[in-house]
Structure 1
Amino acid sequence: MSKYQDIANDIEKKIIEKKYINKLPEQVVLAQKYHTSRVTIIHALKILQDRKLIHAVKGHGTYISAKPIPKIFLNSGVAQNDGFTKHTHDSKKLVSKVISFNIRKPTDKEKEAFNLSENEDVYDIIRLRILNSEPIKLEYTVMPVNRIPGLNLDILHKSIYSYIENKLGIKIGKDDRLITADKPDAYDIKYLNCTSNDPILCVKQKAYFENGTPFELSESRNRYDRGGLTVKKG
């Protein structure tokens, strides 16, 4: 294995372990840390970009990515009823653990999806949902700060949607949803206690306010044996 592949694997390990949060050190700092050249670091970062773990924002540095946004969500309008509804759980037994909560600049795809300028900020949230002490799903969420002001850790441990409707007084509308089966990644294996062979139910969503303004891009990674989706007619 080449040196830059070893470096990429080590940086990925640190991302998973949350030793790097939100943003990676500058390339020159990484080169010093790994006792190598900047060219080798660039090759290592290219591997991580291909793995969808990082993205570069011109003039701001290299950021740790949330899950990638499917093309289907970039220019869609207000969604029609997609025929699916999520299972609900007893709120007393369902716990949210915040793994990561950062504010950063949007990627190009996020700017397009939300119609944001490069100077506006987004929340980048990773939460683990735990039911009866068992992890059931990992959620990656990106939301514009100016559309949902005041998010904090206390709200994230409860319900963002309840905060939007009850505290901000904004009605939530429909959503676009893409549901697929996927192989587990390193985060799934770590946080959902699954093996590399366990299937993952992946739900990617773009949610809108009642007036049609998009406010959320999210991906939930669900253990196949702990919850699911039901089909609703009509």
Structure 2
Amino acid sequence: MSRYKEIATDIEKDIISKKYTYQLPEQFDLAKKYNTSRVTIVHALKILAQKNLIKTIKGHGTFICAKSIPDVFLNSGASENDGFTQHVNGSAEITSHIVSFNIRKPNQKEVKALNIDINDDVYDIIRQRILNNQPAKLEYTIMPVKLIPGITEDVLHKSIYSYIKNTLKLQIGKDDRIITADKSDAYDMQYLDCNSDDPVLCVHQKAYLVDGTPFEISEFRNRYDRGALTVNGSKS
């Protein structure tokens, strides 16, 4: 394997393990760490950028990216689409593990999708759903803090939607969903025990309150062999 590919793989592991959560070290420092040239580091970072794991901003540095939002969500409104819920056969124990929970400033796509200001805060949440002690689903969620205040780790271990309805007394409306198939990425291999060639079923969602205000953009990545997705006519 080429040296820059080895370095890219190592940096990717550090991102997954949360050694780097916001920004990578300067290219000079990475070159020093890996005892290589800055050119090799640039090639390694290009690989990570192609995977949408990082973004380099000239004059500011290299930043860790959140999950991308499908462009169709940027201008879409509430729709009449049926919902999808994951189900399992028989009795099953489903628990949640919080992979990451941060409050940060939104990027431009999130500002547009959630109709918020660039200076507003958003929750950046990654949760792992565990089915009968086996990882089954990975959930990436972005929500505006000012609209959905008070989310804590305790809420995340239970149900965000129940918290919104029962504690905040907000009425949840319809949502837009796009379902796609994807290959496993580094997070899937880490948190869903996927192999590099395993397929993953992806559900991209934008959810609204009853007044049409968007309050969530998310991506759910499901293992192909644990649980299933079925259509239902009402929002759960």
**Shorter-normalised TM range:** 0.7 to 0.9
1:184/1:197 contact within 8 Å kept? yes
- Does 2:166 match 1:166? yes
Displacement of 1:44: 3.1
Whether contact under 8 Å (2:87, 2:230) holds in the other structure is no
Contact kept, 8 Å, 2:12 with 2:48, in 1: the verdict is yes
Aligned equivalents of 2:134, 2:15: Cα separation in 1: 23
- The answer to whether the aligner puts 1:83 opposite 2:50 as a matched pair is no
TM-score calculated relative to the size of structure 2: 0.87
With over 3 angstroms needed to count, the CA separation of the structure-2 counterparts of 1:61 and 1:113, relative to structure 1, is farther
Q: Which residue of 1 aligns with 2:65?
A: 65
| Kept in 1: contact 2:200–2:224 (CA 8 A) | yes
Q: Which amino acid aligns with 2:100?
A: S
Q: Which amino acid aligns with 1:144?
A: P
SS at match of 1:226: coil
The question of whether the paired residues in 2 share the 8 Å contact of 1:104 and 1:123 is answered with: yes
One-letter amino acid of the counterpart of residue 216, structure 1: E
- Match in the other structure for 2:222: 222
Deviation at 1:30, TM superposition (A): 3.2
| Equivalent-residue separation in structure 1 for 2:85 and 2:60 (angstroms) | 38
Q: How does 1:137-176 map to 2 (within 5 A)?
A: 137-176=137-176
C-alpha contact (below 8 Å) 1:22/1:104 kept by paired residues: no
SS at 1:197's partner residue?
coil
SS for the counterpart of 1:6 is helix
Unaligned runs of at least 5 residues, structure 2 = none
Post-superposition CA distance 1:104-154 (Å, at most 9, x none): 221111111112222112111110001211211011111111111111111
Instruction: State the distance in 2 between where 1:220 and 1:2 align.
Output: 33
Cα offset, 1:195, TM superposition: 1.9
Q: Superposed, which structure 2 residues align to 1:196-207 within 5 Å?
A: 196-207=196-207
Q: CA deviation at 1:28?
A: 4.7
For the residues of structure 2 that align with 1:143 and 1:6, how far apart are their CA atoms?
Answer: 35
**Amino acid of the residue matched to residue 201 of structure 1?**
L
Whether the 8 Å contact between 1:66 and 1:141 is mirrored in structure 2 is: no
Tell me the residue number matched to 2:12: 12
Q: Is the 8 A contact 2:99 2:126 kept in 1?
A: yes
AA paired with 1:222? N
Deviates more, 1:177-186 or 1:18-27: 18-27
1:111-126 alignment, distance < 5 Å: 111-126=111-126
Letter in 2 for 1:65: C
Amino acid at match of 1:127: R
Secondary structure at the aligned position of 2:128 is classed as strand
CA contact (8 A) 2:87 2:229 kept: no
For the aligned residue pairs, the C-alpha RMSD in angstroms reads: 2.5
Shift, 1:38, TM fit: 5.1
CA distance in 1, matches of 2:85, 2:196: 25
Q: Does the CA contact (< 8 Å) of 2:87 and 2:227 recur in 1?
A: no
Paired residue secondary structure (1:87): strand
1:107 maps onto 2:127 in alignment? no
1:25 is displaced (CA, Å) by: 3.2
Q: What is the TM-score normalised by the length of structure 1?
A: 0.87
Contact 2:54 2:64 in 1 (8 A): yes
Structure 2 CA distance for partners of 1:26 and 1:189, relative to 1, 3 Å:
same
Using a 3 Å threshold, how does the CA distance of structure 1 residues 101 and 63 change in structure 2: closer, same or farther? farther
The number of residue pairs the alignment matches comes to 233
The answer as to whether partners of 1:172 and 1:209 remain within 8 angstroms in 2 is yes
Contact preservation (8 Å) 1:123, 1:144: yes
**Structure-1 separation of matches of 2:213 and 2:91:** 28
